[in-house]
Structure 1
């Protein structure tokens, strides 16, 4: 079942495709709390197979380690919702897919799972090329759907800005 997608999300994914098509670059995703939402937005764009390399949905810590090579010690030290972990997720996604760019996301979408240090709405992102990965932590307001939707849009925006600067 497809999640409802706003027109603005679709337009962001479409813009990303326009930027990637020209230089024939590709992108991959490593998603946890968005559950494939970024990949869904991208693949709704006709022709996305030319620039979308792969999508990894690594919801559990075990799969983050198994599929993306995120060290379990890193997850234990910082938690799955952390910048070091999303940086490792993005690096692993690039390494395993050979895409030019990656975006990774891990967060607390809610309604449960929040802590005083990482309340519901806390989402960590990493994006970039293999040698230029960046990370940020953002706090979104709203319910689970809102947090996930805002996370997808944020990830797409970061990829767009990355491509515009390249």
Structure 2
């Protein structure tokens, strides 16, 4: 596998080694020994899978007391995936990194604890799967508004127009008002 830097040094694109021929392909999406050797030693406790229609935007989510690191990928369709540094002590506080993940490019994205996470589905039937370093704690979940002007994420909305967001995400806090990490 190959790690590719993003504009946030802690957030990494993972390009797995793909073995393919006329029958199809194979790759390891997670191998604890290889990831540890690359500097990403993690213990995952939960796997999640969501399916989204084209134009669905989920996020920007995080858990404050039980922060989750996430290793994310798309197994069907395409998504624009985003991580936002919400560690107040970080010199990159409020900055974001985004990457297109797709079934075709087979890339993964590592989002460490201390970052908010969201994605925009670019195709119908986009299946998004991810491994988490801590369990989901609904009472601990927070959301920052996906269109927060301070963060200014350049979502590739184009012809999609206004994204479809949940009521919870539509009520997300601004970065200025959000509870964030120290």
TM-score (norm 2): 0.29
Higher percent of residues as strand? 2
| Greater relative contact order, per chain length (Cα 8 Å cut-off, separation 6+) | 2
Higher percent of residues as helix? 1
Larger Rg: 2
